[in-house]
Every structure is written in structure tokens, then in C-alpha cells.
Amino acid sequence: MPYPRNHEFQSWRIGVLRFLCRLFDAGVLAVILGLMALIYMFVYGRYTVHRHSDHLILPESSVIAASDGMRIGRIPLPGSGYRQAAKLQEMPELLIKAFIAVEDKRFYNHNGLDYIGILRAAVNNSARMRLSEGGSSITQQLARSLYLNRDRTIFRKLNEASIAVALEKHLSKNEILELYLNEIYMGRGMYGVKSAAERYFGVSDLNRLEIWQIAVLAGIPKGPSVYNPADNAERSLERRRVVLGIMRREGLITEGEMREAAVGKYEPPEEAEYGPSAVSYMQASLSEASRVTGIPVNKLRTGGYIIETAMNKGAQAALEKAFSRKELFPPDGKGSKAEAAMVIIDHHNGEIVAMTGGRNPREGDLNRAVLDARQPGSAFKPIIVYGPALESGRFAPESVLPDRPYAYGSYRPQNINSAYAGQLTMSAALRKSANAPAVWLLRQTGLAYARQFASRLGIDLTDEDNNLSIALGGLHKGVSPLKMAQAYSVFAGGGIYREAYTVRRITDRNGTVLYEHVPAASRVISARTAGEMTTMLRTVVQDGTGIKARINRPVAGKTGTTELDLPGTGQKANRDIWFVGYTPEWTAAVWIGFDRTDKDNYMTAGSGMAAALFARVMEPALHQARR
């Protein structure tokens, strides 16, 4: 019957037409989506690279160097990583070719996307039913590292491809390769091949790398935490042999070189020992570098600068060794331990040769060596009492001063243990650290004159300090060990003021000198005053309160103590203990105390402990400096 057949044919034809229409619609949609993807690929990558071109300037760990040019340490990048960048010309050809052979052997032949590699990865992933290969080119890896995260999504891969293509248009192949070899993460917080070579092999000149070391480095990017030799020597060795096989197939090495390099045993290099106290010196150097250049500290940390300092490594080592000895410090309190800080200055040129802002300072800790927060006690007397009196010309070391209780309005200073001699020479009053003669002498000299004298030594007092209690070191704000050492360095330097500094020179990553310290000296007090003060301060160490500071060199100095009133305890307690002194070579200030002093955290030790710490640091430090 013809009708049913015709009806079936019509239905079939309609079905075919509908299918073709749907196929056409799908094709059109695919074309539209493809065009949109291409437009997105073209626009997104170009926009991202143009909008964030600063990402192409890699943050690089700045270097702090000691006075002999040797590195003290590198400044960690945000996230505690380290990068030392290298130009492509500084890298051996074999290292470059090894990375290309392992990571992207068609690098010089594609436009950012290795389609052959992508197809191979897709086939292998399909066969294994999992994402075991990425097929990313070196340019894609760089794009991901600079601009994206590591999420394995189609959208992220599209962005990665878009940026990679844009990078290829924006940069040359060698520029991309140089960025990649400096940006790539190499495990243990190291970024870039140069940082990794130094960390794992102790090699700072990349041209000195051996074949097996190059193979180790080229094998790390596949799994930085798995294949770096410091964390997993066996896995690293396995990976090294795979890389050597690739290098051999690509004709980069001979069969004999491959076999020899495959059996080399990894021996970790000796890491440079820089004690914890160097952290304080580095912090002070960064702050000073920022002040003298106007460059923010954060930029200084990550700009690849070289900051050459005045640190004497022998002095710093002696400082750290002494500060690590628990027996040299007061017992711990109930809630915290007694802290300490010390600064050593070369008073001949103003260089700060050593510094610590705590007993075990860490990155970001308070640097107590530079904080104006502590009462100096009697260590302030040479600065505010005896120095001004000598400079005035009205008094001499032999001048007789009254030593008996006086009342200055409501202020009634007392000697320790309320012991009075009736009268003392100025030299004896300083040696015995008597309080009554000091306050009397300050009143005779005049507060205004004394404050001006202290200012010439680098200590500017506030309006709240315009009272006689400053004779005993009772200051409104307090001072730092650095300022105390700076002030005493004028006595040690014959009356010449040389501003203390840590930074000698700053150069940028291109070797351009941005700053160089220019020595400056000015006479602020007479040589006579400085000489008489030194003579008096030497008697303090010879047979006075500073006797524990004696070493095998002439020492002049003064102790200082601030007491703590603990009502109802009957316990004698101290808040701060000091010794500030100098030898013919260096001036130093020592402070010991608790960050927060209270009924549970205080010291019963006196200033003799600070004087003893001065001796334990200065004797070996000077010995090291003379070697």
C-alpha cells in the first residue's frame, strides 16, 4: 500500500532534516564558542601581561654582607622563600639545554603552546584514566607561576594558554627562559637555579656545576619536595638517572659521562653558620638603608640589593657565643626570661661592629638594642652630670663635692644604703656611684647646660626630663643601648662625635651604587673633658662598681642600676642593669632586664652582671679583631 510507505518516508525525511538542523546549530554554536574562546585567548592574555607587567620583575632576596664582604645572610621573600637571580649568560649551556630537554624540548619551535606535547599528554591521560601528565610548555609553566594558581581546571588551563601566547609575543625566547630558570621553585624555599645550586651544592658560580649536579637540578621541578637531594637523596638519585638518560638521548652528554654522573654520591654542603643575633644587626641595617635611600623596607628586602655593612664577624661571633650562655644572665622569672641587648661601636669611625637586640632574637622580634625604652640609671651620670661639669670649666676631677642628704623641694635623693661620706672628690663620687654629689653637681652646672651637653652626645631629652632626677638616670622616655654607646664613644674618641652606622654601601641588582657612607666627624666637647672623663671612668673599672668589666685591655666605663619597688615583699629588686664602657679600640653598651618587670619577673642581680657580660664579650671580640 503506497500511503504508509510514503508516510514513513516523509517521517524519515523530517527526522533527517531535524538532525541536520541540530547538527548545523551545534556546528554554529561550536564555531561561535570557538571564536569566543579565541577572542578570550587573545584578549585575556594580552590584558593580563600588560596590566601586571610588574610580575615580570621577579622579587629577589637582598643580601646583607659583613665588613669583609662575606655574606651575613639573605633576606627571606614573603612566604619565607629565597631567590638569587642569574642572567642567562651566567648559566652554562649544558644546564640550559638540560632543562629544555626535560621540560620542553620543542621550546624554540612553538609559540607558547606545544600542541604535540598537549596531544601526547591527552592520550596518556586517557589511557591511564587520570591526569598524570600536563603537557605544559616552559612558557605555560612560567605563566602559571607568575599569574595563576595550580588548580587543575579547564578554565585555569585556558587562562594559562592565553597568558603563555601573550608572553611569547611580549618577550623573546631567551627572556622567557631566563625568567623561568629564575622563577621556578626548586624545593626547600629556594626559587631559581642559582639559589638551588648554592643551597644544595654550595656552588655560587653556575659554571662550576658538574654534570651530575646539573642533572639533579633539572630533575627537581617535576616534584620539588620529592626530588630535591636534601629531603630525599634516594628519590633524587632515581630522578637524576632518568634526566641523565634524556640528556644522553638528546646528545648533550656521552655514554661515559652519563654512567659517571649516575653514580656520584650526594654530600650536602656545610651551611654557613650565622647565629641568631645577626637578625638584630640585619634588621637595623635594613632600617638604616631605608632611611638613607628613601626606599621602603619591603622593597629593600625583595629588590635584590646588596647591603654592605660594618659588621665585624669575629666580634659578632663573640657576642653570640656569650649571649648563648645561660649562666651569664639572671634567673628566669615566672612568666618570662631576662632579656639583654648589646651594641659595639668602633669609635674611630662610627661603625657598629656588632649588635644584638635580645638573647635569642628571631625575624620580626623587638630589637632592644635600638629601642629608647630603658632607664639608664647611674650609667647616665657621665653624660648628664660629670661631663657637663668638666666641660663648663668650673669643676675638675679633684673638685670636692658634698656627699650628704639634701632636699630639693619634694625631691630627696639618697645614696645606696643611705651611706654618706660628708664630702668626696668628683672622681671618687663617680667611682663609688654616689647619688647625692651627682644631683648637687647637676644643680650647680644647670639643667639647661647639661641637657645641651647630652644633646651634643646624641641624646635629646624631652620637656618632661627638665628635673634633677635625670642626674640618676630617671628619664621620662628612656634610652637605647645604641644611644648610650654612641654617647660614650665621644669620650672614647677624644671629644669627636661620629654618628654610629651599620651601612657602608648599597648597590642594586644591576651593580649600580645607590648609596655610600661618607665619614663625618665634628668636635662636640673638648679633648680635655674627654681625657679627664676617661681617666675617671678607668678608676670605676679598676676599683669601683665596674670592676667586673676588667679585661686584658684598658677599660673605662660606668655601671647603672634602676631599682624596682616591690611593696610588702622585703625583697631588693632591680628593673634595669647596665654597663657602658670602652677600650682604646671599641665602645660598647650592655643592658639586661625583663621586657615587663613586675612582682613575678624581676632581677636581684646588680650591675656587676652587666659589667661581667661586657668583659665576656669584649675580650674575645678584640682578640678576634686583632688576628
Q: Catalytic site residues? A: 103, 378
Distance separating alpha carbons of residues 197 and 20, to the nearest angstrom: 62
280 SS3 class: helix
For residue 293, CA distances in Å to 116, 186, 305, 518, 543 come to 51, 33, 12, 14, 47
> Residue 569 burial (CB < 10 Å; 0-12/13-18/19+)?
exposed
C-alpha cell at 254: 656521552
> Residue 171 burial (CB < 10 Å; 0-12/13-18/19+)?
middle
Distance separating alpha carbons of residues 452 and 226, to the nearest angstrom: 64
Distance separating alpha carbons of residues 383 and 453, to the nearest angstrom: 8
36 Cβ contact partners less than 8 Å away, ≥ 6 residues apart: none
The DSSP code for 606 is: -
Distance separating alpha carbons of residues 40 and 31, to the nearest angstrom: 14
Where does 385-451 show beta strands of DSSP type E?
400-403, 422-425
Distance separating alpha carbons of residues 611 and 547, to the nearest angstrom: 8
Distance separating alpha carbons of residues 184 and 74, to the nearest angstrom: 18
C-alpha cell at 161: 594558554
Backbone angles phi, psi at 290, to 5 degrees: -65, -40
User: In this structure, are residues 573 and 333 in contact, taking their beta carbons and an 8 Å threshold?
Assistant: no
> Residue 346 burial (CB < 10 Å; 0-12/13-18/19+)?
buried
